[in-house]
Chains A and B, each alone.
Chain A
Amino acid sequence: MLLIKNLSFTVQGEEGEKTILCDIDLSIPEKKLVVVTGPNGGGKSTLAKLIAGVETPTKGNIFFDGEDITNVSITDRAKRGIAFAFQQPVRFKGIHVLDLIRMATGKRMTAADACAYLSMVGLCAKDYINREVDASLSGGELKRIEIATVIARSAKLSVFDEPEAGIDLWSFQNLIKVFQKMRSEIKDSSILIISHQERILAIADEIIVLKNGTIDRQGPKEEILPSLIGTPSAIGSCRREEI
């Protein structure tokens, strides 16, 4: 479904050119849940943005369903079936939650239908559907609404950038159910998640460890996860309580 070849991304910093990603090769087949982990600053979020088209690679190619989409716009990638959940969701004055869900589905759906997506992310739909997506929402609420918009897209490939960040333990369980439900309901779909949460790594089919802008390891969960336990690439939920 998704094939990435020799993908590199560099930026111009104060100290000259800095390489964020270097010669990345990877593929995500249909019906797979792939989790990208690795230390902070390893290039994980950049990889997600390159796939969604938010950033443009310096070198290399991205193929989606056999088509080279390297130069395809964000909009056209979305139309081809790529959805993207931001790590830090955007706020909008005056745009309601219902508006965002309608835009995500591309349909003029009823409020009742839209509510189903909010219920999936554990929000009491009637309290939120007509709320503005603005500063009145907490970070956690906003994050769940972001996830709801991606569910509503029902895309072939859904990319989540640290979906667990800022949400509590109760919705963590819910989040895992969301991914499982998406896999079962969206035909032939795949999910790519950027995360270092052990519980999310545990539901992966494949794990990719990204370190210093290159792929350190990749393979089936059974092969990769044991070596990650106890490292910053697989943080257990109990770590939160220690802090």
Chain B
Amino acid sequence: MQLNDLQWKILEEVADLHKTPEGAYNIRSDSRSAGRQSTENIEIIPKSDVSGLEIRIKPGTKNESVHIPVVLTKSGLKEVVYNDFYIGEGANVLIVAGCGIDNCGNQDSQHDGIHRFFVGKNATIKYVEKHYGSGEGKGKRILNPVTEVYQEEGSSVTMEMVQIKGVDDTDRKTIAKLGAGAKLVVRERLMTHGEQKAYSLYDVELNGDDSSADVVSRSIARDNSYQRFDAKIVGNSKCHGHTECDSIIMDNGKILAVPALDAQNVDAALVHEAAIGKIAGEQIIKLMTLGLTQQEAEEQIISGFLR
């Protein structure tokens, strides 16, 4: 693949890639495919009507992975990409997405990834999505992902969404609809700094009996950054839903957490937890008694919290 050092660095940040991945992949760099490979069980087909991919995973596919990272290094580039995943019955795969923007110019760069997952009966996926921004330009780095998940009976989806550094504005939306016995686990890690703004919305419908969702967000807002976390779980069946927002505010950071539980069935069991506060003084003191400076102590607490 023809990628420069900067592009590889971003790939490493967002997808832990040091070389061309094994299995199926599509690497998108500055709005075009820098490399693509399908496998016997996983087919990646470019869409003809809009920008994006159709990823078809055969039923029963086990222990395979799909990497579809995106790199933007041209200032002023704005794109919307539609990727649809069809995961066959009983498959068990790892999907690694992620987007990194390096913006050295003065124009905003923006990538809006619209991902839809159609998860077949008893299929299991782990989805990892990391967002990262770098570059000294005045142009903003903007990422507005939309993730839609449609889970059939007995399927299981685990999503890790991480945005730790450098993304100026993000407006993320995650929608999920679960059938009977389906399970959704979301772990979101978010850190904003400078003047950054991040909105994160979850709307999860538990439609089938014995479905469950566990949506946990841990976030830190530093400097003058702002975050809003909207988490809604709707229980339309005999189900179990849990949402948790755990946040640390530092400097002049601001966070608004808006939990919502909507029980439409008498057998729905829904729980919400939310906590926002600064780092506990006693935590800093404890680490200082181990010989760390106040700043080192704060960094340790933050990196643990976002682990």
Known pairs A90-B280, A90-B282, A90-B283; A78 contacts B304 (CB<8 A): no
Interface size class of B (residues with CB under 8 A): 20 to 34
Q: How far is the CA of A96 from the CA of B307 in the complex (A)?
A: 10
Q: How far is the CA of A106 from the CA of B291 in the complex (A)?
A: 8
Interface of B is mostly: helix
**Apart from A78-B290, A99-B304, what are 6 other A-B pairs with CB-CB below 8 Å?**
A79-B291, A92-B301, A99-B300, A100-B290, A103-B292, A149-B290
User: When the two chains form their complex, are residues B289 and A83 in contact, meaning their CB atoms are under 8 A apart?
Assistant: yes
Question: Out of A89, A96, A153, which one reaches B290, CB within 8 Å?
Answer: A153
Residue from B246, B283, B288, B290 with most neighbouring chain A CB atoms (10 Å)? B290
User: When the two chains form their complex, are residues A92 and B294 in contact, meaning their CB atoms are under 8 A apart?
Assistant: no
Nearest CB of chain A from residue B299's CB, rounded to whole Å: 11
Which residues of chain A from 42 to 86 have a CB within 8 Å of any chain B CB? 52-54, 73-75, 78-79, 83-84, 86
Q: How far is the CA of A153 from the CA of B289 in the complex (A)?
A: 10
User: When the two chains form their complex, are residues B280 and A94 in contact, meaning their CB atoms are under 8 A apart?
Assistant: no
User: When the two chains form their complex, are residues B291 and A75 in contact, meaning their CB atoms are under 8 A apart?
Assistant: yes
Question: Out of B246, B282, B291, B301, which one reaches A95, CB within 8 Å?
Answer: B301
> Is B286 located at the chain interface by the 8 A CB criterion?
yes
> Is A93 located at the chain interface by the 8 A CB criterion?
yes
Q: 22 A-B Cβ contacts within 8 A?
A: A52-B289, A53-B289, A54-B289, A74-B288, A74-B289, A75-B294, A78-B288, A78-B290, A83-B289, A90-B283, A90-B286, A93-B304, A94-B306, A95-B301, A100-B290, A103-B290, A103-B291, A104-B291, A106-B291, A149-B290, A153-B290, A153-B291
Count A-B pairs with CB separation below 8 Å.
Answer: 59
User: When the two chains form their complex, are residues A78 and B289 in contact, meaning their CB atoms are under 8 A apart?
Assistant: yes
Which residues of chain B from 213 to 235 have a CB within 8 Å of any chain A CB? 218
Nearest CB of chain B from residue A14's CB, rounded to whole Å: 22
Q: How far is the CA of A92 from the CA of B287 in the complex (A)?
A: 11
Q: How far is the CA of A95 from the CA of B303 in the complex (A)?
A: 8
Q: Which residues of B contact A84 (CB under 8 A)?
A: 289
Which residues of chain B from 263 to 307 have a CB within 8 Å of any chain A CB? 280, 282-283, 285-294, 300-301, 303-307
User: When the two chains form their complex, are residues A75 and B246 in contact, meaning their CB atoms are under 8 A apart?
Assistant: no
Question: Out of B287, B288, B291, B305, which one reaches A94, CB within 8 Å?
Answer: B305
Q: How far is the CA of A177 from the CA of B300 in the complex (A)?
A: 32
Q: Which residues of B contact A149 (CB under 8 A)?
A: 290
Q: How far is the CA of A92 from the CA of B293 in the complex (A)?
A: 17
Q: Which residues of B contact A52 (CB under 8 A)?
A: 289
Nearest CB of chain A from residue B172's CB, rounded to whole Å: 22
Q: Which residues of B contact A94 (CB under 8 A)?
A: 218, 303-307
User: When the two chains form their complex, are residues A75 and B288 in contact, meaning their CB atoms are under 8 A apart?
Assistant: yes
Q: Which residues of A contact B305 (CB under 8 A)?
A: 93-94
Q: How far is the CA of A149 from the CA of B287 in the complex (A)?
A: 10
* Cβ proximity bits A16-54 to B, threshold 8 Å, 1 near / 0 not: 000000000000000000000000000000000000111
Residue of A nearest to B288 (CB): A74
Q: Which residues of A contact B285 (CB under 8 A)?
A: 54, 74, 90
* Cβ proximity bits A201-238 to B, threshold 8 Å, 1 near / 0 not: 00000000000000000000000000000000000000
4 nearest A-B pairs in the assembled complex, by CB-CB distance: A94-B304, A95-B304, A78-B291, A74-B288
* Cβ proximity bits B113-141 to A, threshold 8 Å, 1 near / 0 not: 00000000000000000000000000000
